[in-house]
Structure 1
């Protein structure tokens, strides 16, 4: 896993250290994982991107995996997507990449989107996988949404979700080493059994219902849009289309140049359909190159 990649812990400011790996040569691409995975979820995609001529950077988001878990605040702002996005920009600059493409899956897609909005001079292409913006999701949060995505609201409660998850993390989160890959599964399992990591991952959701939604709503009210080329991709066997209908219509409210792809997989597309996902990313990044 991650052959010829360099593993590191890098200071991105404010006392936060990000753990991750980087490798390859060529145009830089930052890959951001979702909940409850770590950076190793990309282990089947990264060699394909490297072979296609890209330099790939995969960190654990703050709070996840082996990255720092800073103290929180009443508004949960230390786990906002704005804070995580700033981590990513600082990381890439520290690695010598002033401009780069960013790919985010699940919760990582919210970080990637925020990075493109807050640091447009740094992000030259954006790919968001299996998501619509947090503000858009919450604006459509009817009873059907709440029945299917109840965890968003449960995770935001104080104390109870930590107790429920840590009582039996394996049963709560599941995971199959045969499907995930044994080393990826071990890294993921280490994370979900760590009380500090579980607490920090929940802080991500708590921030989502507050400061993250406020940031999205403020951008919409101000007419801010993502200026770089944007790929919106979703899993054919997940529920994004069923939940939102025309996914691209939502994203056109946020980005000026939107392309699409449908991946023949369940939610964890980097593990389930790495060849198709990598192919779509390479086509998009090649077409978006200046």
Structure 2
């Protein structure tokens, strides 16, 4: 797993990030989703490494990265904080300008990076995500039924108690498509109470401070200035909830987003790594990030 990559723990300010980095060429930052760690990217990263310098951190609150103390306004776990971590991490590794890919909860963090640090982000790729504010603005009984966990995770204390009673049953997954090392890393993470709390704080920030930041972006007319690739898993439910996915992202992009289906379930980096890496390579080639 991560053949030829270096494992580091890098202080980016108020947290230390566990990060793997390797390869050569124009840099790419990969941000994972919930409840994964950076190892979800291992098969994608190895495919990109001959063409790109690939950087894969555990986001703050997740895996073996730092766990800030929760705050009443949830700002220590905001996507703005995650984006600032990513920008500083890439600077410390010598990358002033880079592409970023975010999947699931990493998607809003990657979007925030492109909006808060436009001079740093050369290209933005997103998987299985729409802006948090779009979810909440359009929320109806279908969304509340299918993605009920967003609102359960926002409750104090009870989600931690429910999940930690049996994390393996709660989160599921199988070692067959993750690989044994990735599976072991994932299991250690979801059984760690500090990680579970950090992951839930991510969702609590989403319903509060993250939404406020995105609403401010919309009011100010801020949009993604760099090229944008949007991928979705064909066996997941995102397109069922948002058949106008392309229209949503047109509202957030100054250009025309590239829309690419990935033939997999939700965890596309594990289930279809070749397809994900191929879509990223084609996108980066098209926009000149080579």
Q: If the length of structure 1 is used for normalisation, what is the TM-score? A: 0.98
Pairs within 5 Å for 1:141-156: 141-156=139-154
CA distance in 2, matches of 1:76, 1:279: 36
CA distance in 1, matches of 2:205, 2:287: 32
CA distance in 2, matches of 1:55, 1:141: 38
Pairs within 5 Å for 1:156-175: 156-175=154-173
Deviation at 1:117, TM superposition (A): 0.1
Residue 6 of structure 2 corresponds to which residue in structure 1? 6
Give the unaligned 5+ runs of structure 1.
Answer: none
1:94 aligns with 2:92: yes
CA distance in 2, matches of 1:106, 1:30: 15
CA distance in 2, matches of 1:278, 1:260: 15
Residue 25 of structure 1 corresponds to which residue in structure 2? 24
Residue 265 of structure 2 corresponds to which residue in structure 1? 266
Q: Which runs of 4+ in 1 moved over 3 A?
A: none
Q: What secondary structure sits across from 1:44 in the alignment?
A: helix
CA distance in 2, matches of 1:50, 1:244: 33
Residue 128 of structure 1 corresponds to which residue in structure 2? 126
Residue 247 of structure 2 corresponds to which residue in structure 1? 249
Aligned residues: 288
CA distance in 1, matches of 2:244, 2:282: 23
Deviation at 1:256, TM superposition (A): 1.4
Q: What secondary structure sits across from 1:253 in the alignment?
A: helix
CA distance in 2, matches of 1:201, 1:265: 24
CA distance in 2, matches of 1:244, 1:176: 28
Give the unaligned 5+ runs of structure 2.
Answer: none
Residue 279 of structure 1 corresponds to which residue in structure 2? 278
Cα RMSD (Å) of the superposition?
Answer: 0.7
CA distance in 2, matches of 1:288, 1:94: 25
Q: If the length of structure 2 is used for normalisation, what is the TM-score? A: 0.98
Residue 39 of structure 2 corresponds to which residue in structure 1? 40
Deviation at 1:175, TM superposition (A): 1.3
CA distance in 1, matches of 2:163, 2:216: 33
Q: What secondary structure sits across from 1:27 in the alignment?
A: coil
CA distance in 2, matches of 1:161, 1:285: 39
User: Which digits, 9 at most, give the CA deviation of each residue in 1:113-146, with x for residues without a partner?
Assistant: 0000000000000001001100001111111110
CA distance in 1, matches of 2:69, 2:82: 14
Residue 60 of structure 1 corresponds to which residue in structure 2? 58
Q: What secondary structure sits across from 1:57 in the alignment?
A: strand
CA distance in 2, matches of 1:87, 1:176: 30
Q: What secondary structure sits across from 1:18 in the alignment?
A: strand
User: Which digits, 9 at most, give the CA deviation of each residue in 1:174-223, with x for residues without a partner?
Assistant: 11011111100110110000000000100000000000000011100110
User: Which digits, 9 at most, give the CA deviation of each residue in 1:252-271, with x for residues without a partner?
Assistant: 11011211100000000000
